Structure 1
Amino acid sequence: MVISKTIQHGSNHEKPAVVTDSVGSNADASPSHETTEFVLSKDGFKLFPQPILGDHLDPLNWSFAQKHIILAIIMSIYFMFTFITTTTVPSFPELEENYAASLEQMNWTVAIPALGLAVGPLLWASPADIIGRRPIIILGTAMALAATVGAALAPNYSGYMAARFFQGLGVSPASNVGLAVINDLFFEHERGQKVGLWVLAIDLGLLFGPLIGGAVDLAGYVWIQWLSAILFGVMLLAEVLLLPETLYPRHLMLSEQHRRRHPCTDADKAAPSYHDAERSKIPRTKKLAFMNVAPVPGVRHPKLFDTIYRFIKTFKYAVVPISIMTYCFGWYWWVLSVVTLVPTAYAQYSPQIQGVLYLGLIIGTLVSEVCCSGSLSDYIVLHLSKRNNNQKTPEMRIWLAYPAATLTAVGLIVWGVSVDRGYHWIVGQVAFAIFGAGIQMGNTAVCSYVVDAYPMQSMAMMTFYAVMLNLSAFIDPFFVVPWVENWVNTEIACFSIVMSPWFCTGWTSLELAKSQKVKITFKSRNGGHVIKNLNIDILGHLFYKSATMESQSFNWCPTNMLDMPPS
């Protein structure tokens, strides 16, 4: 075995090493060689996905600045994902008077955009895999802009509700399509931090919404919608000018790169050139039309209804619904409850002061992301993988969920007691900070886990996540008013104690699942024949383990939907 290393001299700032693994045999006195090349990170881990060295059209090779400009655009859209939902909360009294509606009907105006946010990912995912990420994001933002103008000009309650639905539908690509863009831009070992920043955007949008809405309400409740329209307009301009296509035909380019480097069986005659990929005539990423509406060449194109089919089929893979549904309905549920309960809990204050009382949640969320969350998740994975022979498993992300669940429960309970007993407002702010920190850490842990567990189905995973997250947000406002009328805040908070052990139990079941030994059988499509002699790198990708072909038993880790078509 011969291992050689060279350093990439591309535009990518990381400059990973290229490792060539050559195995020779002397059967019949005729040497033969089988050569496998792969790229390592600076820490010695095999990069996933593998970049196309020398190809400036590969998003993985783009500069640090360009990657993070695109990330900032995606984060800004995801910020609006929840901002539009909660920014109208301080203006409820004016909206009630203008539309002759009850408080319960006003809570429905928070639920309706959440319904659009839940339906949207099912509609946008397949087109984003066909014509690309860029046109879908631009189209969605344009729809959200038009709907926001409609909400500002709505003459009656029904028109306002319709506009609110299309607001949510338009901004919904920020969830699954937005995460797919992050998946296109960054390597696996970078995703914890980047997903953490992406999650930070949705959490801050949820919390800054009432804060900004309360201040803007001084100019009139209509200006809350006009401000959102201005923000959507700026984002639309940034998307048109600064957001290139990121959907890249990676499998095709990797196979072409291997073929060009090794045109014959004698590896000594195959002189590698890291610029071969640039000579390909396939239009991709920046070479596509400015407003492309044609299928992106070189990638697998799903059918339009494949997303709905995959969403239903996802229930078959227990680790996904266990983690996501437990988080959405047993944990994240309480965020929107708290946001809509604040005006009732602090009824003695003006809407502007009530908006300021969300600062505790904002501070806790920011501190959690800076000190913990994504970066801490990446550190935990790196530390645990070094103890596991440099083999990473998605379940290493789970460890961050335990302190997150504890912080969330403690913060929510303390806040409920402080409101019920009339404690000083600073007690509630400290509780909010603890609660916000737990929510941010938990959201990062869930998103990072499902993406790492099923990297080839990241779009399907985030579609399931986005639908469930927003279904919980859609259902919640229908129960908040009856709870406030019949329960006290302490009882609502203490109910979270019941849900937190359920959440921890869900994660513990995932830990138990990964320790089981199973026998893996690969079958062909047409007759149940066992497929043997699979490439060891394929097995390593599927199971994140150093599998050996002498044994058919592997340490099972749910990292791919073996019978689900890839996204």
Structure 2
Amino acid sequence: MDKSDISHFEIAQDPPPRQNGIHVELFKDGEVVLIPTPSADSRDPLNLPAWRKWILLILVSAYSCTAVVLASGMGSIFSVVEASYPGQEAKANDLMTYPTLFMGIGNLISMPLAFTIGRRPVFLASMLLLIAAAVWCQCSTSLNSHIAGRNIMSLAAGQSEALSPMIVQEIHFLHERGRKIAWFIFIQNIASGGFFVVSTYMVSAWGWRWWYGFFSVMNAVILLLSIVFVTESQYERTEAAMRGEALSTKTIENEAPDAAVEYEPRCWKDDLKPMIIKPRWHEIPTFYKHILQGLFIPTTLWLLLLNGANLGTYVIEASTFSSVLMAPPYNFSFNALGYVQAGQIVDCLVFLPLLGYGSDLVIRELSRRNNGLYKPEYRLPVIAIPAIVGVICGIMYGQAAQNPERWSVASIVIGYNASYFAFLGANIVGITYAVDSFPFRAAPFLVVICAGRGFISFGLSYATLPAVNTLGYAKTMIVEEVICAAFALFAIPMFFIGPRIRAYVERWCGTEKSV
């Protein structure tokens, strides 16, 4: 960011009042405060020019897109893949269910490394592994080999859930994170929706093996561009800077003012280095300790359960919609299934303005009403619309799948895509609320949410066929949506007690202090 850009904002000089946890001053004298405070270092990722930030955002979104399509987007082509393994149809279901489990495991492995050696090397290594595993799946000679290849691929794809949004939020300020994360999800899912449509045609023309081959080539291109443009986003900041307070000798004991420090200019030679962070291997146990602590914090535990329930519901519908639509009375053709998932493009067109820009507008308005002070709980009201839509349409999906002759095909299509919209809502609230609530524990607490929801959704989705066979689609979806509704309603008490929880957690494990 140029100095001329910074001049448009007023940076707080005195610490704002701090009560019941993190309350930071988002407005001062009618102007937005930059949180975190950018340093004078040109290598500070917050000081990247706007065009570099956009390219970086697009590249991590592109990686996340291909990761999502490869790991979770097999629904529209699953019938063809399943037909390749006659007599093993039940086992072939593992191709759909196990990826969510291994995406969670991938987060548990990669995020401590990203915390220790930096985001860039882990991101680039994930891209390499994603390419190699896709080639493995393409060349697999048995169902077991195919399942193993997808599991390894999902380890690499898991970083799209925690590492990618972390990179995005680390190069942007608090007041713009909502819409930037929304742009990340928007680009990811608009592209995914397009690939869902063409996947059926790709498989019809080339076979499912070259479906993997196409994404291997695409990811190779993304990797080459990422080597050049995905710079390191990790940057050491003081506690005062994380609160948006200007650096001074008053706020940082025994440290010279930032303006007095001489920094080397940013150069491409440094940006192209695979790793610029000095490894801190001794901090890996601390990272896992913070993950464990996150499981016992009501805020992160609630976000984990909220995300897991919504993702599990979506995976259940993703695993069943093709068989429902291809059977009488709907009789969908194989190629038409891709257009069903294209409804996710509509989700994104609604999602970006409503949950992205809308979230940032809500926090600005509520902060103004609170004398300029921002609270992370101001992120929570936006969960209401996707939660209501998801519950109603999810129940509708179950009724239509149970009694297709009495329901329009639109009930399946809308219900399926509405569940995805509900997950997007839970996802953006989970990411932004966790990061804003615990900025110094953002990495481990995102692992709690992203890895944990993978385990929960795996358990829910793995039990799909037994549940449907026992309860039927209608009762199964009612149970799932009641769980989703219950966790969504927790947003109401969390809005009021969230600050007290943060104050208690700070006394317990020092979440407002840098490691």
Q: Secondary structure at the match of 1:115?
A: helix
Question: Counterpart amino acid of 2:297?
Answer: Y
**Aligned: 1:405 with 2:392:** no
**Aligned: 1:321 with 2:268:** no
Structure 2's unaligned 5+ residue stretches are: 16-24
**Aligned: 1:563 with 2:510:** yes
Per-residue CA shift, 1:488-515, capped at 9, x if unaligned? Answer: 3322332244224411342233134247
Q: CA deviation at 1:395?
A: 1.0
Structure 1 residues 378 and 20: alpha-carbon distance in aligned structure 2, compared to 1, 3 A threshold:
closer
Match of 1:337 in 2: 316
Match of 2:140 in 1: 154
Q: CA deviation at 1:322?
A: 1.4
Match of 2:342 in 1: 359
CA distance in 2, matches of 1:345, 1:566: 51
- Counterpart of 2:372 (choices 390, 398, 402) is 390
Question: Counterpart amino acid of 2:319?
Answer: T
Per-residue CA shift, 1:515-542, capped at 9, x if unaligned? Answer: 75x9xxxxxxxxxxxxxxxxxxxxxxxx
Question: Counterpart amino acid of 2:99?
Answer: P
CA contact (8 A) 1:92 1:106 kept: no
Structure 1 residues 116 and 167: alpha-carbon distance in aligned structure 2, compared to 1, 3 A threshold:
same
CA contact (8 A) 1:81 1:202 kept: no
CA distance in 2, matches of 1:61, 1:41: 21
TM-score, with length taken from structure 1: 0.78
**Identity score, percent:** 17
Q: CA deviation at 1:367?
A: 2.6
- Counterpart of 1:187 (choices 173, 193, 214) is 173
Structure 1 residues 302 and 204: alpha-carbon distance in aligned structure 2, compared to 1, 3 A threshold:
farther
Larger Rg: 1
- Counterpart of 1:350 (choices 333, 337, 340) is 333
Q: Which has the higher contact order (CA 8 A, sep 6+)?
A: 2
Q: CA deviation at 1:109?
A: 0.9
Per-residue CA shift, 1:107-161, capped at 9, x if unaligned? Answer: 2112232222111111112222232111110011001101110110011122111
CA contact (8 A) 1:394 1:559 kept: no
Structure 1 residues 208 and 499: alpha-carbon distance in aligned structure 2, compared to 1, 3 A threshold:
farther
CA distance in 2, matches of 1:42, 1:256: 15
CA contact (8 A) 1:76 1:201 kept: yes
Match of 2:42 in 1: 56
Match of 2:21 in 1: none
CA RMSD of aligned residues (A): 3.6
CA distance in 1, matches of 2:437, 2:507: 6
- Counterpart of 1:176 (choices 143, 162, 176) is 162
**Aligned: 1:280 with 2:263:** yes
CA distance in 1, matches of 2:101, 2:498: 35
Question: Counterpart amino acid of 2:107?
Answer: P
Match of 1:307 in 2: 287
Q: CA deviation at 1:344?
A: 1.6
**Aligned: 1:228 with 2:210:** no
Structure 1 residues 444 and 338: alpha-carbon distance in aligned structure 2, compared to 1, 3 A threshold:
same
CA contact (8 A) 2:39 2:258 kept: no
Q: CA deviation at 1:476?
A: 3.6
Q: Secondary structure at the match of 1:249?
A: coil
Match of 1:444 in 2: 428
Match of 2:3 in 1: 10
CA distance in 2, matches of 1:146, 1:323: 33
Structure 1 residues 402 and 557: alpha-carbon distance in aligned structure 2, compared to 1, 3 A threshold:
farther
- Counterpart of 1:130 (choices 116, 119, 142) is 116
Q: Which has the higher helix share?
A: 2
Question: Counterpart amino acid of 1:486?
Answer: T
CA distance in 1, matches of 2:87, 2:356: 42
Match of 1:95 in 2: 81
- Counterpart of 2:399 (choices 400, 417, 424) is 417
Write the mapping of 1:216-255 to structure 2, written as runs, cut at 5 A. 216-218=202-204, 219-251=206-238
Structure 1 residues 201 and 499: alpha-carbon distance in aligned structure 2, compared to 1, 3 A threshold:
farther
Structure 1's unaligned 5+ residue stretches are: 1-7, 23-37, 519-542, 544-555
Moved more, 109-118 or 333-342: 109-118
Q: CA deviation at 1:293?
A: 4.2
TM-score, with length taken from structure 2: 0.85
